[in-house]
């Protein structure tokens, strides 16, 4: 999944060795904002760069599974890494951090409070309707199309300065399928933006999009990316009239927590309570690297070996940001817990726009981690699924600590999320479509149709003619109900009434 078995077991990380061998004192200043919070800066100007061999510390990998977490001990010193990278947008990241002289964590149940970690947004994606001022936006889009032609000619993105921001214009547009196509695709610090010049956009035919994936969420921050999107639209002569969230990921990073040694045995032995039915275990050779439940288009919870993934990315910017922002240095092992929420999951609680969802992040996190009834939790004992007593299994102290770490950053909820009252949903549009479909069928069959009784008769006769069985109707309903979340409410398998 993240690399070959040979890569994981070997000592061949030349790019990382070269990176860490070049260390010297530097003064880091990085702008970052998450969860709509304040911009944070780290300044370690007076930090002692140390005298230990940084190369040996930076090339350290997780220890073999035969060694327990309580036996693990890391010995290293503090140092700074001045790192400069040139992308379509040039910038410099002088990263400074301190590794502890020693780090040892006992895994007794009453000592999980020693576990450290940080929570953050790891994916932020939305679509938007933009009203363009044609007199101002027209010349800008003409210029954007010209730069796109240059990019196509050279077969690589071309740069353009818009206001105070330099962006990279891709060779093609973005979107398609359920997402309306947008002829302009821009990137800024790996933040991806889609734009279309057309006016009169609707939620079915949007003309703007913003995607902040895992890497830019870490390096730049979702809040900074959103500010850039608003600033870009304004500079081009537009105004955001509507926006809605498509996907939101929240994660908790846990340095010095070994996934294969500590977390995987709990998963393997069934110490899990979840309302999600589908599960997936990721393997790398003979070792487990990740575990997930649920589906990505609705709700998925993943737990995986984050150090293993970060090293196999072979992306020095990403690794350095992880060490500074999430780990506080290079750990001997690291685990991530991640909740991936699609629009169907968010929409059932009335969470629609990005701005209102961010305001209710504490309530949303409480819903995800509710005990019992949350999306997923590790338990101290194996739940009694045979007698449907899963909720009686006590939550594992490790999982309680994960939730506590998340709430430290996100906050504690004030108002519990509630499902929308579906009896109040306006179905006028759907009914109008049904009438249109049935009357079209009646016209083709040369059958008169003027009343509700005629509608029912035409539908019944048509289904009989095409031999549509009841099982086909049930299959279609199950698919829709499971996607929307109402199937659990109606049939009450474990987790009924949960998120």
Residue range 86-126, pLDDT digits in tens:
434 333 333 333 333 233 334 455 568 889 999 999 999 99
Average pLDDT over every residue of 50-79: 40
Alpha carbon 150 to its chain's center? 33
Q: Assign 424 a pLDDT band (cuts: 50, 70, 90).
A: low
Q: Assign 215 a pLDDT band (cuts: 50, 70, 90).
A: very high
Phi, psi of 186 (to 5 degrees): -120, 150
Residue 80 has pLDDT above 70, yes or no: no
Residue 85: the pLDDT is: 42
Residue 266: the pLDDT is: 92
Average pLDDT over every residue of 461-488: 80
Q: Where are the beta strands (DSSP E) in 183-237?
A: 184-188, 191-195, 208-212
Q: Do 375 and 298 form a contact (C-beta atoms < 8 A)?
A: no
Query: What's the CA gap between 472 and 466, in Å, rounded?
Result: 12
Alpha-helical (H) ranges within 89-213 are: 134-154
List the one residue out of 294, 368, 311 whose CA is nearest residue 119. Answer: 368
Average pLDDT over every residue of 412-419: 85
pLDDT digits (tens, 9 = 90+) for 270-307: 888 887 777 787 766 567 889 998 887 889 999 999 99
Please list, in sequence order, all residues whose beta carbon lies within 8 angstroms of the beta carbon of residue 260, skipping any fewer than 6 positions away: 62, 65, 287, 288, 289, 305
Using DSSP, state whether 331 is helix, strand or coil: coil
Using DSSP, state whether 170 is helix, strand or coil: coil
Residue 285: the pLDDT is: 56
Phi, psi of 161 (to 5 degrees): -95, 125
Residue 256 has pLDDT above 90, yes or no: yes
Please list, in sequence order, all residues whose beta carbon lies within 8 angstroms of the beta carbon of residue 45, skipping any fewer than 6 positions away: 27
Residue 381 has pLDDT above 70, yes or no: yes
Instruction: Name residue, tokens 């999600």.
Output: 276
Q: What CA–CA distances, in Å, run from 214 to 219, 305, 340, 366?
A: 9, 15, 11, 22
Query: What's the CA gap between 258 and 334, in Å, rounded?
Result: 6
Residue 384 has pLDDT above 60, yes or no: yes
Residue 64: the pLDDT is: 42
Q: What CA–CA distances, in Å, run from 231 to 39, 116, 145, 275, 487?
A: 17, 36, 20, 41, 42
Q: What CA–CA distances, in Å, run from 379 to 272, 322, 394, 467?
A: 6, 29, 6, 49
Phi, psi of 151 (to 5 degrees): -65, -40
Residue 430 has pLDDT above 90, yes or no: no
Query: What's the CA gap between 494 and 326, in Å, rounded?
Result: 34
Residue with the larger pLDDT of the pair 213 and 485: 213
Average pLDDT over every residue of 295-324: 91
Helix (H) or strand (E) holding 93: strand 90-97
Residue with the larger pLDDT of the pair 292 and 22: 292
Residue 227: the pLDDT is: 96
Residue 423: the pLDDT is: 65
Query: What's the CA gap between 388 and 402, in Å, rounded?
Result: 26
Whether the predicted model's global pTM rises above the 0.85 cut? no
Helix (H) or strand (E) holding 283: strand 279-284
């Amino acid at each position: 999944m993240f690399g070959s078995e040979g890569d994981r077991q070997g000592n061949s990380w030349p790019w990382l060795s070269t990176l860490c061998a070049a260390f010297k004192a530097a003064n880091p200043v990085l702008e970052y904002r998450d969860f709509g919070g304040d911009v944070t800066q780290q300044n370690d100007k007076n930090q002692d760069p140390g005298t230990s061999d940084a190369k040996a510390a930076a090339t350290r990998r997780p220890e073999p599974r035969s060694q327990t977490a309580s036996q693990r001990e890391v010995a290293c010193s503090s140092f700074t890494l001045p790192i400069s990278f040139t992308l379509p947008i040039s910038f410099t990241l002088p990263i400074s951090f301190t590794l502890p002289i020693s780090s040892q964590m006992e895994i007794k149940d009453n000592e999980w409070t020693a576990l450290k970690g940080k929570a953050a947004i790891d994916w932020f994606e939305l679509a938007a309707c933009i009203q363009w001022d044609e007199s101002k936006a027209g010349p800008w889009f003409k210029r954007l199309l010209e730069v796109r032609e240059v990019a196509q000619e050279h077969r690589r993105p071309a740069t353009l300065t818009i206001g105070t921001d330099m962006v990279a214009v891709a060779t093609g547009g973005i979107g398609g399928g359920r997402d309306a196509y947008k002829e302009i695709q821009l990137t800024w610090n790996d933040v991806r933006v889609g734009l279309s010049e057309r006016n009169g956009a609707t939620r079915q035919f949007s003309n703007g999009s913003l995607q902040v994936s895992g890497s830019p969420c870490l390096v730049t921050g979702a809040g900074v990316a959103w500010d850039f999107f608003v600033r870009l639209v304004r500079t081009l002569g537009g105004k955001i009239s509507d926006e809605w969230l498509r996907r939101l990921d929240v994660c908790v990073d846990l340095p010095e927590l070994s996934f294969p040694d500590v977390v995987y045995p709990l998963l393997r032995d069934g110490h899990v309570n979840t309302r999600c039915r589908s599960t997936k275990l990721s393997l790398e050779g003979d070792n487990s690297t990740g575990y997930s439940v649920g589906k990505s288009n609705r709700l998925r919870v993943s737990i995986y070996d984050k150090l293993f993934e970060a090293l196999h990315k072979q992306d020095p910017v990403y690794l350095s940001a992880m060490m500074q922002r999430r780990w506080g240095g290079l750990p001997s092992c690291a685990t991530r817990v991640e909740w991936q929420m699609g629009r169907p999951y968010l929409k059932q609680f009335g969470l629609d726009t990005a701005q209102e969802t961010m305001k209710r992040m504490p309530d949303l996190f409480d819903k995800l981690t509710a005990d019992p009834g949350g999306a997923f939790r590790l338990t101290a004992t194996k739940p009694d699924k045979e007698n449907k007593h899963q909720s009686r299994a006590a939550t594992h102290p490790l999982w309680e600590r994960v939730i506590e770490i998340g709430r430290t950053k996100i906050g504690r909820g004030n108002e519990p999320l509630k499902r929308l009252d579906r009896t109040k949903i306006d179905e006028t549009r759907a009914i109008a479509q049904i009438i249109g479909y049935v009357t079209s069928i009646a016209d083709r069959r040369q059958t008169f149709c003027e009343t509700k009784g005629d509608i029912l008769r035409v539908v019944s006769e048509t289904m009989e003619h095409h031999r549509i069985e009841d099982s086909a109707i049930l299959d279609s309903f199950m698919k829709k109900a499971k996607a929307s979340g109402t199937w659990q409410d109606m049939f009450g398998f474990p987790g009924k009434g949960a998120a």
